[in-house]
Structure 1
């Protein structure tokens, strides 16, 4: 823990490391080949080379991000309450930290797709590009929704402690069991609740971690890691669940759409390992200043890193594959894997240059979000309704892009863009005086406590 800021360098490392692993994972599995007609195609590596599905046990790292996110959000919300802030103001500030960089990403990407379509580019190619540019979007509406629930999740933690984690896990397990046992559309739709329930388990565990107590003891982390890993092994070995922790074409059962019992078990295993390592990692990080600076830099660039990391893939694909400069060994062969380090290095250089160019934009967005957050005091149910409507609009738009990409039929869906734009305006404009944070606490019968 950094005594000057109250931040945990280990938590910052978990968040930054999770994003870096997501980026590397996407780059590693991206396979580009030239079709007989000369067009660029992207075969699905994990369907073509099934053993690579085991790699998802390490690269499906989002449980760690939600764990660290819950830890950080607990401290932020506690400080907000201690300073007399409001639930709506806090939610609005957090939402803008996600939405403003996303809007800055969408302007050039959607604009470029629209221009390419108007110039007669192949709709199928644009659809593939639009999908690649939005493949990371699934996370955004989920994290936005769980962040929006933070004041109430925090209140649940103060009332029930680890019982709130257990309740979310039990609910997620029940929904996951329903999806497996009932082969019906309505069961799948109910199963979509697990996008919130399962990921909220890790987020809520972050609250318990920050509070200390049993969760901070290594024995708790060890038990959670071993129990979660054993549960995953049993569910995959004896149940209907696949190994892969990301969506793979052709699977009858998915561990991610919606999050399954196996995903829940592996989530607990990952979180347990993080908790087990926490005391040792904190000591190492606090004893050395160099890693802290690197972690801080990665943290500041985290959103841009996550949003923009597939753009270099498209640039490199056009520069090296469409020009026949890149070697094209058979996907999954030894030669293909031998070229992966060079591929990742090229993408890293391109992304580094892109992030450097975006640095002024990032700084502007941070200042803008800070100014808006500083005046985030809402008043009356009407202002809260405006905020809620805005969050619903952007959540719907982000979910649509996550499912269909940015240009499903070869051109952007401007209705989705309009919903997103209106939502951002509503979220950004929901200002004014508002009652204190006690409102969020009273919904679960927990008195307001000041402090962080």
Structure 2
């Protein structure tokens, strides 16, 4: 089965909207004492929570990830590859750029802490630089489960995501009808169930179970929207698909039944739009743009909050930025130059990172585990350490309480090294990817 350009488009589209959404909802204010704050737009201007319906597109990323991973695992398995070798290869592609990014940010945290930077400021910056990390541990765990999930798919097909969805929807309702603390603990399984539904639907899509006519996609799109409307209208869940401070229930922490319904609706819409978008992607110019975004997807995803810090220092700490009322018409008008400036800064950051990107891609090719690795304890231990460290950073930032996170930093570094040590035997699995392809597949 050849490479599907539409799958690459969905990944690029998801990354682009994540970056744009984070920039759009990030607002800065210069206080009278000269410090800079970042009021939470979704809490301060509640109507903006409706915007999250358009910007919460991570279900598309998991859908595309399942499609691509299913094909990758089948090729590796048919070539004699092992579970350990394949999981190690996929994990390393994501961990190397993530560890490099984290290492540079943590170095800056350590230097700023030693220089006496205010702890509250350091904690805020550390949180901003890690706000996108929630995705990484979830994706790593689901990737590690791919051989099992694909085996279930081969046996039961669409019944697998249907069953996962029913369980996930039930778990998502525990916070409404049960003890909130107990529901929070049990609800963590929904990070795998809800996002796993989209991932599992990627298998079904690849194998043609969702593309036999328009009935199934239309049913998913309409049914998902109707269920979502019921859960956030007369139902108990908020409309925001991003965590909002002060809300008793959240659709993302952990993923709720409403998020599950919206994910199903998004997958249905994506399938309905596939034929038309594929025709557009046949054009050289459109495909070149998708390839450009896809080739830099990890850099865009990891580094897109750095421009916010640069602009804050250049325009807000200096008092050069105009400050209309937060959320006013003038404030929204200024969102246009805000986004343009951030885009220009990010373009410069990505350009400056090109040597590092090429070096990491080359390192990934040299270190990637061979296809003959068999359930090596080092790889699984390294993956576990990495998932734990990334989950910590996602929940606490890089400088929780204004202090340096020693053990999570050690965990991520040691975990990445342990995964990289499993060279194994049996060649290089699917073949050594080019640097651009390696970075695309890491995403």
Same fold, judged at TM 0.5 (above)? yes
Q: Name the CA distance, whole Å, in 1 between partners of 2:210 and 2:266.
A: 17
Q: What is the CA distance between 1:373 and its match in structure 2?
A: 2.6
Corresponding residue for 1:236?
Answer: 232
Deviation at 1:433, TM superposition (A): 4.1
1:289 matches 2:284: yes
Q: Which secondary structure state, in structure 2, belongs to the residue aligned with residue 134 of structure 1?
A: coil
1:266 and 2:258 correspond: no
* Partner residue in 2 for 1:276: 272
- Which residue of structure 2 lines up, in the alignment, with residue 321 of structure 1? 316
Counterpart selection for 2:109 from 113, 137, 140: 113
Contact 2:174–2:180 (8 Å) recurs in 1: no
Alpha-carbon distance in 2 for matches of 1:405, 1:32: 19
Rounded to whole Å, the distance in 1 between the matches of 2:288 and 2:371 is: 30
**Equivalent of 2:216, from 215, 220, 223?**
220
Structure 1: gaps of 5 or more residues: 438-452
For residues 213 and 310 of structure 1, what CA distance do their matches in structure 2 show?
39
Q: State whether residues 31 and 44 of structure 1, in contact with CA within 8 Å, keep that contact through their aligned partners in structure 2.
A: yes
Deviation at 1:214, TM superposition (A): 4.1
Alignment-derived partner of residue 254 in structure 1 = 250
Instruction: Confirm whether residue 342 of structure 1 aligns to residue 334 of structure 2.
Output: no
Q: What is the SS of the residue equivalent to 1:419?
A: helix
The answer to whether the aligner puts 1:414 opposite 2:406 as a matched pair is: yes
1:270 CA displacement: 0.5
Which secondary structure state, in structure 2, belongs to the residue aligned with residue 245 of structure 1? coil
Match of 1:198 among 194, 198, 204: 194
1:220–1:276 Cα contact (<8 Å) kept: no
CA contact (8 A) 1:177 1:261 kept: yes
Gap change, CA 1:156 and 1:96, over 3 Å in 2: same
Are 1:210 and 2:202 counterparts?
Answer: no
Structure 1 residue 374, shift from structure 2 partner: 6.0
- Over the aligned positions, Cα root-mean-square deviation in angstroms equals 1.4
The one of 383, 387, 390 aligned to 2:382:
390
Equivalent position to 1:353, from 339, 348, 354: 348
Match of 2:169 in 1: 173
Task: Work out the CA distance in 1 between the residues paired with 2:250 and 2:299.
Answer: 29
Preserved contact between residue 22 and residue 60 of structure 1 (Cα < 8 Å): yes
Partners of 1:178 and 1:355 in 2: CA distance: 43
* 2:179 is the alignment partner of 1:187: no
| Partner Cα distance (2:213, 2:419) in 1 | 40
Distance 1:420 1:374, change over 3 A: closer
Post-superposition offset of 1:283: 2.6
Shift of 1:186: 2.3
TM-score by length of 2: 0.94
Deviation at 1:427, TM superposition (A): 0.8
Whole-Å separation in 1 of the counterparts to 2:114 and 2:159? 55
| 1-structure distance, mates of 2:174, 2:149 | 24
Q: Which residue of 2 is the match for residue 449 of structure 1?
A: none
On the 8 A contact 2:280/2:286 being kept in 1, the answer is no
- 1:305 and 2:297 equivalent? no
Distance 1:425 1:344 in 2: 37
Instruction: Determine the C-alpha separation between the residues in 2 that align with 1:265 and 1:112.
Output: 40
| Cα distance in 2, alignment partners of residues 99 and 400 from structure 1 | 15
8 Å CA contact 2:76–2:371 kept in 1: the answer is: no
Cα contact 2:175–2:249 (8 A) shared by 1: no
Q: TM-score, normalised by structure 1?
A: 0.92
Q: Are 1:162 and 2:154 an aligned pair?
A: no
Work out whether 1:44 is the aligned partner of 2:40. yes
Work out whether residues 218 and 277 of structure 1, in 8 Å CA contact, stay in contact via their aligned partners in 2: no
Once the two structures are superposed, what CA deviation does each residue of 1:355-399 show, in whole Å capped at 9, x if it has no partner?
0011111111112212223634214x5x2x221111110000000
Counterparts of 1:1-40 in structure 2 under 5 Å?
A: 6-40=2-36
Change (3 A) 1:433 1:374: closer
Task: Give 1:445's aligned residue.
Answer: none
Give the Cα–Cα distance (whole angstroms) in 1 for the partners of residues 235 and 180 of structure 2: 19
Specify the SS of the correspondent of 1:213: coil
Partners of 2:183 and 2:170 lie apart in 1 by: 12
Shift of 1:216: 4.7
2:221–2:265 CA contact under 8 A, matched in 1: yes
Is the Cα–Cα contact under 8 Å of residues 92 and 376 in structure 1 kept in the other structure?
A: no
CA contact (8 A) 1:389 1:426 kept: yes
Are the counterparts in 2 of residues 71 and 206 from structure 1 also a CA contact under 8 Å?
Answer: yes
| Aligned residue pair count | 427
Instruction: Give, in whole Å, the separation in 2 of the partners of 1:222 and 1:146.
Output: 27
With 133-142 and 289-298 compared, the bigger mean Cα shift is at: 289-298
Query: Structure 1 residue 400 and structure 2 residue 392: aligned?
Result: yes
Q: Equivalents in 2 of 1:356, 1:216: separation in Å?
A: 43
Is contact 2:80-2:371 (8 Å) kept? no
Comparing 364-373 with 57-66, which one deviates more in the overlay?
364-373
